[in-house]
Structure 1
Amino acid sequence: MDNSLINRNWSFFRKVSFRFAFIYFILFFPPLDILASVPGVRWLSSSLYSPLRSAAYFFNDYLFHIKDELVPQGGSGDTSFGWALQFSIIVLAILGTIIWTFLDSKRKGYPKLYYILCLVVRYSLASIAFVYGILKVFALQMYFPNLSQLATPLGDYLPMRLSWMFIGYSPMYQIFSGVAEVLVALLLFWRRTALLGALLSVGVFANVAMLNLSYDIPVKIFSINLLIASLFLVWQERERLFAFFIQNKSAKPSSFYSPEFSKSWFKYIRIGLKVVFIVSAFGIATYNYYGYYKSFHSTATKVLDPIEPGYYHVELFVKNGDTIPENLADTLRWRDLVFDYNGAGSFGAVDEDFWMRYGRAYFDYRPDSTASVLEWRKSKYDSLPFITFEMELEPDGRMSLLGLKNQDSLRISLKKLPRHFQLAERQFHWLSESNR
């Protein structure tokens, strides 16, 4: 380790702030999570995570009172449990700092722990940035809007879905942002480029955090912490950056990420851990996402014969023998129906028997080989159909469906419309004579 760091007497504020930062980042970025792809490591990391979960419930019951019943994290990272966990980490870091300061008040400094903390934060950011980045490089995080989404009025969407489709519309932009995140990971991984990686990380995760805050994307807690961690790494090199960018002075080479340890075996351990990190954080993620990329693109535009994907108007809707006329104010009467590619579909109506999203009811359809039976499932993972229709196809694009939904008989007549969505054309013009 650099002698200047070992011999320097730290100020009281620096020691206290380091203790807080050490506890906070170790709790938020558990070191074992860096190697989570290694078999058995994820299980061990989850086991060590259990006491922190218990602490979140304990502090919520006796201190925070966010909600009586905490909602666990899942599709959203900003659930009531997510906030209880975030506040608990802050409380534990404060309590740990007080106890640490009381028990170790005579310590002059923590140069080796300081190096280890920056190493953990650096590798944690690198692994997270790479996973999110390689997902975007394969254009798998945000998808191009499907037919059901294109048929949904823009005003019905929530901000997050709008931002998701905005990015998913352009694979080029998504890949560009993914390359930036992958570059952050690669630069942070190598000691000589760690500062450049941290600076780029600030820009990348500041943009991500602002997107999450501006479009109500429920990853606010995580993205803000990634930005804080990036700023923490940049702060370690503040003197060199200030001298170079502000004072117009020569900046000395940094030796912070080039420690010299007396034990020769440490060199081999470090090399071994680097190899494991490359394989687990970079190699396995790339292999898995590439496999998913091939699978997704081989089925994304698959047509299930004889159903022709497109936008269908519901000309006739008969329920239990009663013909229900078209009425825009009637939310129960089916207005239109979309058969998308790869067995996905939706119809415009309110029907809680299906998965409802933005005013549309979604289903999964599967025609039989005789083109006379059409099965609808609530989800593509369901083994049994929810509705089985007798289907009749006509040459002019019309389709008749007759079936039983719960205890209600349905007879539906559909006509395929030449509905054209300009957004689906992926338009691009170098020459634009007017504002399109």
Structure 2
Amino acid sequence: MQETTTTWSLFGRISFRFAFIYYLIYFNPLGLISGIPGMYYLTEAINYPFDIFIHWFNDNFLHIRKELVPMGGSGDTSYGWAQLYSFLFIACIGALIWSILDSKKTAYPKLHYWLCILLRYSLAGIAFTYGILKVFAMQMYFPNMSQLATPLGDYLPMRFSWMFIGYSTPYQMFSGFAEVMVALLLVWRRTALLGALLAIGVFANVAMLNLAYDIPVKIYTLNLLVASMFLAWQERSRLFAFFIQNQTVQPSELYEKYFSKKWQRIGRIVLKVVLIVMSFGFGTYNYYQYYLEFHSNNSKILEPIQPGMYHVELFVKNSDTIPESLADSLRWRDVIFDYNGSGSLSAQDSSLRMRYGRAYFSYLPDSLGTQLEWRLSSWDSLPVATFKMQMPEKDQIILTGKKEEDSLYVVLKKLKRHFPLTERQFHWISEANR
């Protein structure tokens, strides 16, 4: 399906029609300019008919779930699978109709050129978005104290993999630089093939992580991998001649398109600059601002609480003293106040955010240090619990107040708990396994 080929094979024509329809739907071209004011709503308006079809197709044929769960934190929801099957079905039917109505056409060099352009810039924008996040080490975070205090066996594979990558900032930045390089190489015509080959390596690694650790972005990353392979496949003759036959190859003509009119040549440059500035320039600036905000020092706001792990020495609930017991899942055993205003406690508490056996909350003391509020999240306006706070001695906190319908009196004692993982040890010489 190369542009220089005057007559394509029957399989080449049919497969191109399928790929053109599928990728035109999956990588909506308006997504490249959705950041322009007003364009986002146009993109959503175009997606609306597809949304109606996806629900109809599922209700009448797929029956994946009676009620499709929309994509959000997970891309592999029932809606995500219904969308994938719907797009494949539309592409198949569209390719069949196209083949019947346009059976005499022997090649599609112009459409082929624009399809490759769409895939190049779509993959470049996606790779840069994920890459720049990793360059600033903000996609995966270093495990916080609550996570460090959670038994390893309580974690699900995805969270385990997230902490594995977040633990090492250099490794995360390295993988981010690889994704940014994919974006930069794909943007320029002369390095587009190298970018496609690097994209195969990068997205194959990401897809394997998603499959091996049950990370719910499998559909998306596999699509990115296949699209990268599609771009590299368009240069298969040159790749085979160079790497297998050890022959000299001519420069690629895949992305060489001559525009006869001056306004077309100027428009091409202007559009490319706009896309680069919007995707790369604004993206880098926004993530850098987020990076500065995330790493801002909030220690003054959280005073007088000293972050750390606190043992619950005394737990009185509705005037009843509840003794410490490993068999009691409702009694607090320890409370962690982390550095960023988040906290957790070791107990089963459905009024808080339960994750991996711990109940999570956000905390904020008042300016006098005599009252402490717990919220489900830092952006919530109303607290789930409000305590009077006393600190009779160093490393001791006494909380008195109500949580839901329960009156609580809790005495906390800070532990000198050290997690060796936080040392981020590195040794050039290792005499034995650690």
Q: What is the TM-score when the length of structure 1 is the normalising length?
A: 0.97
2:307 counterpart letter in structure 1:
P
- Equivalent residue of 1:241, what SS? helix
1:353 counterpart letter in structure 2:
S
- Equivalent residue of 1:342, what SS? coil
- Listed as ranges, the gaps of 5+ residues in structure 1 are none
Q: Is the 8 A contact 2:3 2:113 kept in 1?
A: no
Q: Take 1:417 and 1:267, find their aligned partners in 2: how far apart are those partners?
A: 68
The corresponding residue for 2:4 is: 4
The answer on 1:89 being equivalent to 2:87 is yes
Write out per-residue CA displacement over residues 388-429 of structure 1, whole angstroms, 9 at most, x where no aligned residue: 111111324121111111221111111100000011112111
The corresponding residue for 1:292 is: 290
Single out whichever of 125-134 and 48-57 deviates more from structure 2.
48-57
Q: Take 1:49 and 1:276, find their aligned partners in 2: how far apart are those partners?
A: 24
The corresponding residue for 2:124 is: 126
The corresponding residue for 2:49 is: 51
Single out whichever of 387-396 and 83-92 deviates more from structure 2.
387-396
User: How far off is 1:42 after superposition?
Assistant: 1.8
User: How far off is 1:302 after superposition?
Assistant: 6.1
- The 3 A distance-change label for structure 1 pair 50 and 299 is farther
What fraction of aligned residue pairs are identical, expressed as a percent? Answer: 63
Single out whichever of 322-331 and 215-224 deviates more from structure 2.
322-331
- Equivalent residue of 2:295, what SS? helix
- Equivalent residue of 2:79, what SS? helix
- The 3 A distance-change label for structure 1 pair 92 and 302 is farther
Write out per-residue CA displacement over residues 141-189 of structure 1, whole angstroms, 9 at most, x where no aligned residue: 1111111111111110000001101111111111100000000000000
The corresponding residue for 2:406 is: 408
Write out per-residue CA displacement over residues 234-279 of structure 1, whole angstroms, 9 at most, x where no aligned residue: 0000001001111111122111111124444321221121011111
Write out per-residue CA displacement over residues 117-151 of structure 1, whole angstroms, 9 at most, x where no aligned residue: 00100110001001111111111111111111111
Alignment partner for residue 236 of structure 2, among 225, 235, 238? 238
The corresponding residue for 1:306 is: 304
- Equivalent residue of 2:398, what SS? strand
Q: Is the 8 A contact 1:376 1:385 kept in 2?
A: yes
2:206 counterpart letter in structure 1:
V
Single out whichever of 34-43 and 314-323 deviates more from structure 2.
34-43
The corresponding residue for 2:366 is: 368
- Equivalent residue of 2:178, what SS? helix
Q: Take 1:301 and 1:427, find their aligned partners in 2: how far apart are those partners?
A: 26
The answer on 1:73 being equivalent to 2:74 is no
- Equivalent residue of 1:135, what SS? helix
User: How far off is 1:308 after superposition?
Assistant: 0.4
Q: Take 2:233 and 2:141, find their aligned partners in 1: how far apart are those partners?
A: 37
Write out per-residue CA displacement over residues 350-388 of structure 1, whole angstroms, 9 at most, x where no aligned residue: 010011111111111111222221111122112122211
- Equivalent residue of 2:4, what SS? helix
1:66 counterpart letter in structure 2:
I
The corresponding residue for 1:394 is: 392
- Equivalent residue of 1:353, what SS? coil
Q: Is the 8 A contact 2:70 2:77 kept in 1?
A: yes
Q: What is the TM-score when the length of structure 2 is the normalising length?
A: 0.97
The corresponding residue for 2:169 is: 171
- The 3 A distance-change label for structure 1 pair 252 and 148 is same
- Equivalent residue of 1:415, what SS? strand
The corresponding residue for 1:321 is: 319
Q: Take 1:3 and 1:184, find their aligned partners in 2: how far apart are those partners?
A: 23
The answer on 1:15 being equivalent to 2:21 is no
Q: Take 2:143 and 2:173, find their aligned partners in 1: how far apart are those partners?
A: 17
The count of corresponding residues between Structure 1 and Structure 2 is: 433
Q: Take 1:252 and 1:346, find their aligned partners in 2: how far apart are those partners?
A: 62
Alignment partner for residue 227 of structure 1, among 225, 228, 241? 225
The corresponding residue for 1:253 is: 251
1:307 counterpart letter in structure 2:
I
Q: Is the 8 A contact 2:3 2:109 kept in 1?
A: no
User: How far off is 1:342 after superposition?
Assistant: 2.6
User: How far off is 1:194 after superposition?
Assistant: 0.4
Q: Take 1:300 and 1:138, find their aligned partners in 2: how far apart are those partners?
A: 19
1:286 counterpart letter in structure 2:
T
Which residues in structure 2 correspond to 1:62-211 (within 5 Å)? 62-211=60-209
User: How far off is 1:297 after superposition?
Assistant: 0.7
2:247 counterpart letter in structure 1:
K
The corresponding residue for 1:435 is: 433
2:118 counterpart letter in structure 1:
V
- Equivalent residue of 2:421, what SS? helix
Single out whichever of 260-269 and 309-318 deviates more from structure 2.
260-269
User: How far off is 1:301 after superposition?
Assistant: 6.0
Write out per-residue CA displacement over residues 67-89 of structure 1, whole angstroms, 9 at most, x where no aligned residue: 00000000001100001001100
The corresponding residue for 2:22 is: 24
Q: Take 1:207 and 1:3, find their aligned partners in 2: how far apart are those partners?
A: 30
Q: Take 1:216 and 1:4, find their aligned partners in 2: how far apart are those partners?
A: 42
Q: Is the 8 A contact 1:400 1:414 kept in 2?
A: yes
User: How far off is 1:303 after superposition?
Assistant: 6.1
The answer on 1:344 being equivalent to 2:342 is yes
Q: Take 1:228 and 1:266, find their aligned partners in 2: how far apart are those partners?
A: 31
Aligned-residue RMSD, C-alpha = 1.3
Q: Is the 8 A contact 1:302 1:342 kept in 2?
A: no
- Equivalent residue of 1:284, what SS? helix
Alignment partner for residue 211 of structure 2, among 210, 213, 219? 213
- Listed as ranges, the gaps of 5+ residues in structure 2 are none
